[in-house]
Amino acid sequence: MVKLELYMVAQKDDLPSILVPNKDPMDEMFMYRAAAARNLSACERNEGLEVLLQVGSQEEIDQIAEKSKVKLFPNYTEKQKVYAQQDISGRIRDALKDSVRQEEMFTCPSAIGQYNFILNQLSRSTGFWGVIHRLFPVVFIVNAVPSFQLLVGDMMITNPGYYNKTKAEFSRMASNIMSGIDIAYDNIKVRLLKNTSLDIINNIIKTDKEGEGYREAREVANQLSLPIPVVDHLYIATQSTEHSQWTVYMKAPNTLATLPLTQQIPPSKGGKNVKL
Amino acid sequence: MAKWSKQSLDIRLVAHYIPSNYEEWGHTGSCIVHAENPQDFSKKLPKNVRYNLTTEVYMPDVDLPLSEGELEHLAVDLEGNLDRYAFELRQQEVMGQNFRRLYSLTGVIFTIGVLATQTWWWLFFVTPYWGVAGIGNKYKYKKAKYLQNYDHRQVIEGKDPARKDAVNEMYEFYNKLEGHHLNKLQRARDFCKEQKKKNPAFKEIEEGYRDLIDANLEDSFLLQMYPYTSLQSFLRFFTGGPYGIVQPILTPKQIVPVRNFNLNAKKYLKEKK
């Protein structure tokens, strides 16, 4: 089964934790080849997606198990019952379909598309009608020199034939990738795993020393095995909620002395916590 | 006989914890887990039989060893490198294979034409030199195509005592070292070279340090991909196929960042209570 990791990162106070998917951010630079490879193998092996839900402590695992128990009340509508009957994996499936699957449906074709784009341009000259134009002077020579018929046959038949063959193979691969996304995200299996390095991070965020839990967590996360998306998530959390570096730029602008200052911007007050 | 009707083979991939100071975006100051690179690993795979892969991770005896989730994270990265390598080679071979067949035919026509017509100006019409398009990828893909023939993959903690001793010994030795981090890596590599005579398990740890030193000193990925010398661009003209569309695929190093055991993790875990 192809695998996708989800990290359950805590928030401050009693706010619910956030799920951060582990996708290689550098994959974007190389046309989403890692994501395409994952979905292609899902199609060819006809296997679903194994979601590895990385959880910090054993207590959280027990909490998830309790939450996934179904409680049906009599005043529920039919639609509400359907949602209530979903276990935790059902909720994760819906969340992934709205976020990661949506993104992959747009991005994965570009793993093949970058080559198809160039091959289509090449086919202008190497395709059948392109060759007809290139061969215009040769048409007259063929009457005089019979061995040119070999060259003409090669350029008119074998060249476009092989170029069309490569394009056909690529389009088959691309359609397999697209159907692989459907196969993977329609058959999800969730596995709960205990991760100690995530536990360290969650503890630092919860203790929130000097109101800078996220900043300290990000510094420690560099020495842990946590993937880059989690570290990036912590960085965004520091910048948006804690003593941020943005306050450096929140000074009054250095205006010309002759102009009157109509509105004076107050100095920044650091240390004010804003909940995410 | 079909592949699926035969009994699948058990094959293992050995990964060692290597103490170091790995510097990369987002992983400053972490250690690594190193395994065999995909090209060497694919040589061990069977041709017409499916296989089960077990990744054995060897780590030193410490208070807080790698948990289940961290081991799975290593497996995702190591297996992901194998999958991506196989996919990229397959993608390039779709073009490379077809272009090699096509332009080797034009090579035949080229020679017939030269002998028959005894003129030269029409030679600009044909491009027989693209008959070697992606020739480097061809030999890599011969073995790498068997990477996808797996049935089941799992990750476990290794239990071979000789390897376990080697990893423990290395961990103790590296913690005593001081100085520049590249110098530390070189001294650790030399230590492995000596210990290899007593314990052959040090051989693979030494390869890990060699890969790490290479990763620090070699050209960047973009410089390796882009032909910036005249010799490189000359060779790429032939092996790149039409308009350089066929790219050479580099074999990745199996280096995965992992938690630094020297970090006082208990300090953070106790604060909760």
ipTM of this predicted structure: 0.88
Comparing CA positions, the residue from B139, B113, B120, B108 lying closest to residue B239 is B139
Looking at residue B78, its pLDDT comes to 95
> What residue has token string 């190193």?
B34
pLDDT of A267 > 80? The answer is: no
What is the mean pLDDT of the segment spanning B12-23? 91
Looking at residue A41, its pLDDT comes to 94
| Chain A residues 222-241 with CB within 8 Å of chain B | 222-225, 227-228, 231-232
What is the mean pLDDT of the segment spanning A106-120? 91
Cβ neighbours for A200, distance < 8 A, ≥ 6 positions apart: A220, A224, B265, B268, B269
| Chain A residues 96-155 with CB within 8 Å of chain B | 111-112, 115, 118-119, 122, 126, 134, 138, 141, 145, 147-148, 150-151, 154-155
Closest CA of chain B from A193, distance in Å: 5
pLDDT tens digits along A228-243: 999 999 999 988 888 7
Give me the helices (H) in B118-201, please: 135-144, 161-176, 181-195
Cβ neighbours for B192, distance < 8 A, ≥ 6 positions apart: B170, B202, B203, B205, B206, B209
- In percent, how much of chain A has pLDDT > 90? 37
The predicted model scores a pTM of 0.87
Measured CA distances, A165 to A109, A173, B82, B91 (Å) = 19, 12, 27, 14
SS3 A225: coil
User: Which of B95, B110, B112, B127 is most worth mutating to test chain A (most A CB atoms within 10 A of its CB)?
Assistant: B95
Whole-angstrom distance, CA of residue B260 vs CA of residue A212: 23
| pLDDT-derived band at A259, boundaries 50, 70, 90 | low
Contact criterion met (CB below 8 Å) for A34 and A104: no
pLDDT of A245 > 80? The answer is: no
Whole-angstrom distance, CA of residue B132 vs CA of residue B150: 31
Which of B25, B66, B76 lies closest to A3 in CB terms? B76
Residue A127: both structure tokens together: 């395709």
* Average pLDDT taken over every residue of chain B: 91
Residue B44: both structure tokens together: 């061990």
Lowest mean pLDDT among A198-207, B110-119, B153-162, B228-237: B110-119
Comparing CA positions, the residue from A242, A237, A238 lying closest to residue A272 is A242
CB–CB contact B125 A155 (8 Å): yes
Residue A25: both structure tokens together: 């951010």
Neighbours of B8 (CB within 10 A): 16
User: Which of A49, A112, A197, A198 is most worth mutating to test chain B (most B CB atoms within 10 A of its CB)?
Assistant: A197
Neighbours of A211 (CB within 10 A): 15
Which of B116, B117, B268 lies closest to A200 in CB terms? B268
What is the mean pLDDT of the segment spanning A164-176? 94
pLDDT tens digits along B245-272: 999 999 999 999 999 898 888 888 865 5
| pLDDT-derived band at A246, boundaries 50, 70, 90 | low
DSSP E strands: which ranges in A95-254? 188-194
Looking at residue A192, its pLDDT comes to 87
Residue A167: both structure tokens together: 């394009």
Neighbours of B21 (CB within 10 A): 17
SS3 B257: strand
CB–CB contact A3 B122 (8 Å): no
What is the mean pLDDT of the segment spanning A161-167? 92
CB–CB contact A166 B101 (8 Å): no
Residue A226: both structure tokens together: 């946590």
Contact criterion met (CB below 8 Å) for B134 and B241: yes
CB–CB contact A37 B84 (8 Å): yes
End-to-end CA distance of chain B: 62
Residue A192: both structure tokens together: 């709960």
Residue B191: both structure tokens together: 């230590």
pLDDT tens digits along B225-241: 889 999 999 999 999 99
| pLDDT-derived band at B23, boundaries 50, 70, 90 | confident
CB–CB contact B259 A52 (8 Å): no
pLDDT of B97 > 70? The answer is: yes
Residue B203: both structure tokens together: 């051989």
pLDDT of A168 > 70? The answer is: yes
Name chain B contacts of A195, Cβ cutoff 8 Å: 67-70, 73
| pLDDT-derived band at B194, boundaries 50, 70, 90 | very high
Residue A256: both structure tokens together: 């010309």
Looking at residue B159, its pLDDT comes to 94
Q: What is the DSSP string of A125-150?
A: HHSHHHHHHHTHHHHHHHHH-TTHHH
Neighbours of A252 (CB within 10 A): 11
Cβ neighbours for B257, distance < 8 A, ≥ 6 positions apart: A225, B22, B24, B27, B30, B31, B32
pLDDT of A88 > 80? The answer is: no
> What residue has token string 């994965």?
A108
For B269, nearest residue in chain A (alpha carbons): A200
User: Which of B24, B50, B71, B73 is most worth mutating to test chain A (most A CB atoms within 10 A of its CB)?
Assistant: B73
Q: Taking CB atoms and an 8 Å cut-off, how many pairs form between chains A and B? A: 165
What is the mean pLDDT of the segment spanning A16-37? 89
